[in-house]
Homo-oligomer: A and B are copies of this chain.
């Protein structure tokens, strides 16, 4: 039954699997190095223990909840039409993808909650600055190598087992990875920001105590959140981007270049694994430079190496004319370009895109750049102008980022000489190029929560010297910046992956239509014909665009609302503890940290279902209800609005965060001034923007595209033939719409209940006070 591959392709896939295993081996070595470091004082260990327990408890409960989802979706996958063997393979791959995603998230959290302590302890050492940065970055390195290793292993493994059918099976792998990552992003994002916002509102704003003060009952939850949100969520997200980009590349590569098109993206990804090892190895703080300089150097050098190696690979592996490619698609037979140059250039475009976005995000959110200085300066006229100016910066930066991504796609389109299919494959290759940097990017990102936690532990233990504290503050600041700039890259990977998946969707539709025509079945006319139209001037396709953009807005709104609600519950809890135990404020009584962790856990798990169901079922409703053309419009609208919204939310949040830092460093009156109160409000608004809603949009647009790819054959078979079962089709659409809409309504009802509870709590507090 299997579509066979040539021996040379299988050998290459085997070598690539070997490289993947090597990357995992490097991860094991790095992990040992991290764990070998000094574990600090008993007090520090005690605090770290509390964070570890909270984080493990949350992720374990989260995985138990998500296991149900995975089982249900796995069952639904069998309802889709298709070959039995492929269906089983796809279901297994789905579970594997979800498992890998979860494993990487768990591993990232596990190691980060052990590294935080070691970084805090290292600050006391004579060479604390370098040592701290080394441990933090190595921790990220472990996660980065695992992302690359598992992603590559999964893809190469599926190719080795399923040969030419690998793309169809890999859809399951990508979908599993994306679905899990989306839930982890949403759940972790709600957890971390509910705790952070709640802690800030009561601690900084009401009681005037510093961040991470042990008297604040929400501090442990805040630190747990860094690990389950920023660390586990981001790792799963980037793993998913990696997997999904490979999936789209293989699907499109097979359609355009045949067998070689399937293998070349794997080679590029393997190069990514090699340069990731290089990047992590060469990232060392030299002399007096700060951690950021070393990280940037590591990034740019490894990116450069990636471009060079990919070019070599293209010239070695690909022939010099399109005609010489075995299994090239018919329309490309007389393409006059050199496929080696074109493929290498596409990969290079992806890498350059990563570099430009890194710079651009840094420009808009950095503490020394004009936009952030402007936002900080508006603190003199109060919180409202801080919020407004940050929103302005967010909108503007979103436009430039989207413009750069659009320019990259146009560049690829020119490279392809205007061939739609070739250009879609090249978009996927550019995505692979961008992802050659992913190992270093994950390492950079994990740097953030680890150093943030280290500072928290130092603060709470009150056992770190002033000098050590300064080292940790500097590391934390560098971590804030790396966290902000890697978000830009994550969004860019998401857009390229989604655009490539969009192409895979069109491929799936075309294949299904061909099957129907080949079988001699007549096609229906009338409304059905226009349901097939991808043309954006068709009103229903435009409706698709509007609905796609709307889904992004709704998803963002739900995520932000969830944080506001959960944070409100935490505020009431922390206030209650202060009120009922006056000893907490004087330091005599230890607050009940666990209760806040419990509230965060409960609320985030409760809140993640609605956005998740929306993402999974909205495309089903649109596809079956309106047709394949409107579904394409839906995906296009979601990508367009998604990239802008994601960058807007991330960068507005980033600029507020750093505007706060600027004021805290002494501008406009410094800490405690009215200007400071204003920027704290801005930062609090930005928290769910940049760490909950914004990052969750990345997996969102990919999940929706993957759902579309998966259902495309069913939609075509159920709508296009003259004898199609339209009652069933409308039934499926209505059911999906009811589930998505029902989830939103349920969330509203819950919100009303929470409002009522809060009213009640406020009444109790008023009585008690």
Residues of A within 8 A of B (CB): 197, 201, 205, 370, 373-374, 377-378, 380-385, 387-389, 391-396, 398-399, 402-403, 405-406, 409-410, 412-414, 417-420, 423-424, 427, 499, 502-503, 505-506, 526-531, 533-543, 545-551, 553-554, 556-558, 560-561, 563-564, 567-568, 571, 626, 632-633, 636-637, 639-641, 643-644, 648, 681, 684-685, 688, 751-752, 755, 758-759, 762
Contacts and interface: CB of A to CB of B under 8 A. Distances in A.
Main DSSP-derived SS at the A contact region: helix
B633 A396 contact: no
B644 A553 contact: yes
A403 B547 contact: yes
Given A427-B539, A561-B392, A384 B641 contact: no
Report, nearest first, the 3 A-B pairs whose CB atoms are least far apart: A395-B557, A418-B527, A384-B684
A244 to B, nearest CB: 17
Contacts of A568: 378, 381, 385
Nearest to A405: B546
Nearest to A388: B564
A752 B373 CA distance: 10
A539 B684 CA distance: 38
A611 to B, nearest CB: 12
A537 B420 contact: yes
A270 to B, nearest CB: 26
6 contacts: A205-B382, A377-B755, A410-B626, A534-B537, A536-B545, A637-B637
A382 B571 CA distance: 11
A759 B201 CA distance: 30
A106 to B, nearest CB: 30
B539 A413 contact: yes
**Max chain B CB contacts within 10 Å: which of A373, A537, A641?**
A537
Contact of A535 (B406, B409, B535, B755): B535
A549 to B, nearest CB: 4
Contacts of A557: 391-396, 399
A66 B467 CA distance: 61
A545 B545 contact: yes
B547 A402 contact: yes
A287 B526 CA distance: 55
A640 B542 contact: yes
B545 A636 contact: yes
Contact of A550 (B402, B424, B526, B685): B402
Contacts of A758: 377, 380
Contacts of A403: 547, 550
Given A553-B398, A643-B546, A685 B201 contact: no
A527 B415 CA distance: 10
Contact of A547 (B382, B406, B636): B406
A89 B564 CA distance: 57
A560 to B, nearest CB: 5
B549 A549 contact: yes
B534 A536 contact: yes
Contacts of A420: 530, 533, 535, 537-539
A526 B399 contact: no
B418 A529 contact: yes
A393 B396 CA distance: 23
A564 B385 contact: yes
A150 to B, nearest CB: 30
A545 B640 contact: yes
B201 A384 contact: yes
A438 to B, nearest CB: 22
B755 A560 contact: no
Nearest to A495: B546
Contacts of A542: 409, 499, 502, 636, 639-640
A647 B564 CA distance: 21
B536 A541 contact: yes
B545 A639 contact: yes
Given A377-B759, A546-B402, A553 B395 contact: yes
A231 B118 CA distance: 63
A625 B596 CA distance: 56
A409 B530 CA distance: 14
A423 B538 CA distance: 9
Contacts of A539: 409-410, 412-413, 420, 423-424, 427, 499, 503
Contact of A389 (B427, B561, B648): B561
Given A399-B551, A536-B545, A536-B632, 16 more contacts: A197-B385, A380-B762, A387-B685, A388-B561, A392-B557, A403-B550, A414-B527, A417-B526, A420-B533, A502-B542, A503-B539, A537-B632, A542-B640, A545-B639, A545-B640, A546-B639
Contacts of A530: 413, 418-420
A18 B370 CA distance: 59
A197 to B, nearest CB: 7
Contact of A536 (B536, B563, B564, B641): B536
A82 to B, nearest CB: 22
**Max chain B CB contacts within 10 Å: which of A414, A530, A542?**
A542
A545 B644 contact: no
Nearest to A526: B418
Nearest to A682: B384
Contact of A506 (B377, B393, B499, B537): B537
Nearest to A629: B536
Contact of A381 (B380, B541, B547, B567): B567
Contacts of A543: 406, 409-410, 413
Nearest to A756: B377
A639 B81 CA distance: 35
A406 B549 CA distance: 12
A688 B410 CA distance: 35
Contacts of A538: 420
Contact of A560 (B395, B506, B684): B395
A21 to B, nearest CB: 35
Contacts of A626: 410
Nearest to A528: B418
